[in-house]
Amino acid sequence: MQTAQQISQSVSALDSALDRATQELNTSYVDLAERVQHLTTELHQSRSQLVQELADKEAIFQRLSALVQALPGGILLVDCQDVIRDANPRAIELVGEPLIGELWPTVEKRSDNLRFSCAEGGGRRHVSVSVQPLGGSGERLILITDTTALHESQQLEGQKKRLMAMGEMAARLAHQIRTPIASTSLYLAQLARDDIAGQRREDICKNLTTALQHVEGTIDSMLGFIRGESRELESLFLQDVMQDLEALIRNGHGLDAQQLMITPIDRSVRIKGKREDLVGALSNLVCNAIQASGEAPEILVSVNAIDARRIQIRVRDHGPGIDEAHLSHIFDPFYTTRASGTGLGLAVVAMTVNQHGGDISVRNHPAGGAEFFMSLPMLAQSE
């Protein structure tokens, strides 16, 4: 049997062990409490952060929702089965109900609004539709835009351009009839003389008639262009055009054979065009050449065949030539180097040549002066 001393020692050892265990448990409890407190704090912070993020996302969602609702264009959300799942008020207004839950192809077919419809005030509403896929889910976002204002703006712009074209045509008309009017004034001054012979008087009256017919033809052509009428081209002899040009320039400016030299041409060359327009374009080039030549004009108008299908008319002067800086802009509308110029003369010439299926160019001659090249298609003998 154990003695009392041994029992006492065993109890003391047991107490010591219990004390150590108790101390360790207390330490572990404190550590556990601290960890729980730390985790509780972290959880609270995470929860607060998550709540804030949810609140921010909710605010963003609300703003986006408000923006979608307020958009001037209609928005439809269509799923992979072509069923409309959502729509903003503008889409409902533009397309009409029923909408949510309907098949998009059915709505698209039934609604004329997707092309145009009657708008307020009795006008026409124009609408455009665009489709944007949403990732790989098969959903689509359909944007419906009211383009009525854009169409109206385009119409106003078109009207503005037509008015500008009318203004340009009026300036062109004034430019084109300036030379025949000058010729008419000269003829009338000659008729006023008492010593004029009867045959000369008769010739002047014929020339007056020709000049006035030229003016009338130019005005008729211009009015037809402004009204949008097609400009019918007709078969004509180039010889007639050159003879009209020579009569117009000689009588209008009083140039002799040394000052204005025109290559003779027979009636084998036919072209398709408007006689008055071609005479006006060529007289424009010659008048410019006369102005550039100063007091001693020397103008050469020559006609040469480029090939079997095209003819070239060249107008050359012996003036100072054209500044190289102006050559690339010489045919631009409203581009002029003269204070009294309209800037439409050569632009009109270029437009006339283009209408006749030809082209025009300009260069400075190596020996001095400027020369214009007008090429036009010729008609075959069988045409």
Strands (E), the chain: 74-78, 84-87, 116-118, 124-133, 140-146, 234-237, 260-262, 270-273, 299-305, 310-316, 359-364, 370-377
Residue 225 has pLDDT above 70, yes or no: no
What would the pLDDT profile of 68-121 be if each residue is shown by its tens digit?
565 667 778 888 888 888 888 777 777 777 878 888 888 777 766 554 444 444
Residue 93 neighbours by CB distance under 10 Å? 14
Per-residue confidence band for 342, with pLDDT thresholds at 50, 70 and 90: very low
What predicted TM-score, i.e. pTM, was given to this entire model?
0.45
What would the pLDDT profile of 350-363 be if each residue is shown by its tens digit?
888 888 889 999 88
CB 252 within 8 A of CB 183: yes
pLDDT for the residue numbered 118:
44
pLDDT for the residue numbered 318:
84
Look over the chain and give the mean of its residue pLDDT values, rounded to a whole number: 77
What would the pLDDT profile of 186-198 be if each residue is shown by its tens digit?
777 777 777 777 7
